[in-house]
A = this chain, B = another copy of it.
Amino acid sequence: MAGKGRVRLVDVAEHAGVSMKTVSNVVNGYAHVQPATRARVQAAIDELGYRPNLTARRLATGRTGMIALAMPEIDHPYFGELARHVAEVAATQGYRVIIEQTLGDEAAERAVLRDREAGLVDGVIFQPMRIATLDIARLHRDLPLVLLGEVEAPVTTDHVMIDNVQAAADVTAHLLAQGCTRIGFLGMVEGDITVTNSRRLLGYQEALVRAGLPLDPRRVLTVGGFTSGDAAAAVRAAIAEGPAFDALVCRDDRFAVGALAALREAGRTVPDDVAIAGWDDSALAQWTWPALTSVAPDKHELARVAFDLLVERMGGAQGVGRHRVVRHSVSVRASTAR
């Protein structure tokens, strides 16, 4: 029962008959240590089972070697995959990732930017949902920060996104190419203050206009929440009372999955009666029935670029905010194949 962290650097030093500095040199792989000394120290380390106390090291160096990844939900397919990529990218440079779940709670989002990260992490990658960008500028002080997702970022803050307008236009154009003419948008979310939705809606509208098609506002469905069930309810309501549509551009794959279920219930066939396109290209997209066409952000690239920007900030870079756009594609599957 040695007790966690019981063996200290000084214990090893005594045991090996050298100074703390020498032990520290060995532990940190400093080159200029006599082989004999190194061996003796290493033996003492092994014998005593020494592990450096990371907290103490942090206090001394001012570095934690950790970054925080803050996002709305850890169990959302997209965010889960993104987290995996960020963790992998960060690991290549020796960083660990703390995942912080905000659950779309504004207080939690503020906390991300304030005291909670004080000295805990060296930087933060943050996908906000509720917090306004001006608040971000005001709150984030000097904590290195990179924003994810399409926010109206203040100029002092880096951020990484895909071109949501273009991507929405791309997927809508794909639907048009399949012969769809009454394309709906699912959907605007009540209470969602991010510009993500409006950007996607804009791209969808641009593609329609470009094709010479009318914009029917009744084909833009409003959804009461962020779950598949909320989306299904919206589609059910639209079927009951709304105008006919022969395709739906969905805000994300979870909405698309809800749409598939609602259409099936109503006896509509996908893609023949209604083509369905999702967004995120999450792992589940290829296993729905029919398999889901989906906008595919390059998640790995998103993670890599965000981390690289953050590393620069953590290294002290002080310039204005950089805005990086990462490429996307449309993964075409059966749900839109006519």
- Interface of A toward B, CB cutoff 8 Å: 1-6, 49, 51-56, 58-59, 64, 66, 73-77, 80-81, 83-84, 87, 96-101, 114-115, 118-120, 141-143, 228, 257-258, 260-261, 264, 283-284, 286-289, 318
Contact of A55 among B6, B51, B120, B288 (CB under 8 A): B120
A101 to B64, CA, bound (A): 19
State whether B3 touches A75 (Cβ < 8 A). Answer: no
Taking A2-B141, A80-B74 as contacts, is the C-beta distance between A118 and B51 under 8 angstroms?
Answer: yes
Taking A75-B81, A258-B287, A284-B284 as contacts, is the C-beta distance between A142 and B98 under 8 angstroms?
Answer: no
For the complex of A and B, the 6 pairs showing the least CB-CB separation, nearest first, are A75-B80, A51-B118, A53-B119, A55-B119, A257-B287, A54-B119
Q: List 13 A-B contacts (CB under 8 A).
A: A1-B318, A4-B143, A5-B118, A51-B119, A52-B115, A55-B55, A74-B83, A75-B83, A257-B284, A257-B287, A261-B287, A288-B289, A289-B289
Extra 18 A-B pairs, beta carbons < 8 Å, given A56-B119, A98-B99: A4-B141, A5-B119, A6-B142, A51-B118, A54-B120, A55-B120, A66-B98, A74-B74, A74-B83, A74-B87, A75-B80, A83-B99, A87-B101, A96-B100, A97-B99, A257-B284, A260-B287, A288-B288
A67 to B120, CA, bound (A): 13
Q: Determine the chain B residues whose CB is within 8 A of the CB of A81 once the complex forms.
A: 75
Q: Determine the chain B residues whose CB is within 8 A of the CB of A258 once the complex forms.
A: 287
Copies of this chain, count: 2
Q: Determine the chain B residues whose CB is within 8 A of the CB of A4 once the complex forms.
A: 118-119, 141-143
Q: Determine the chain B residues whose CB is within 8 A of the CB of A66 once the complex forms.
A: 98
Q: Determine the chain B residues whose CB is within 8 A of the CB of A75 once the complex forms.
A: 77, 80-81, 83-84, 283
Closest to A115 in B: B51
Closest to A261 in B: B287
Q: Determine the chain B residues whose CB is within 8 A of the CB of A1 once the complex forms.
A: 142, 318
Closest to A87 in B: B101
A294 CB to nearest B CB, Å: 15
Closest to A228 in B: B287
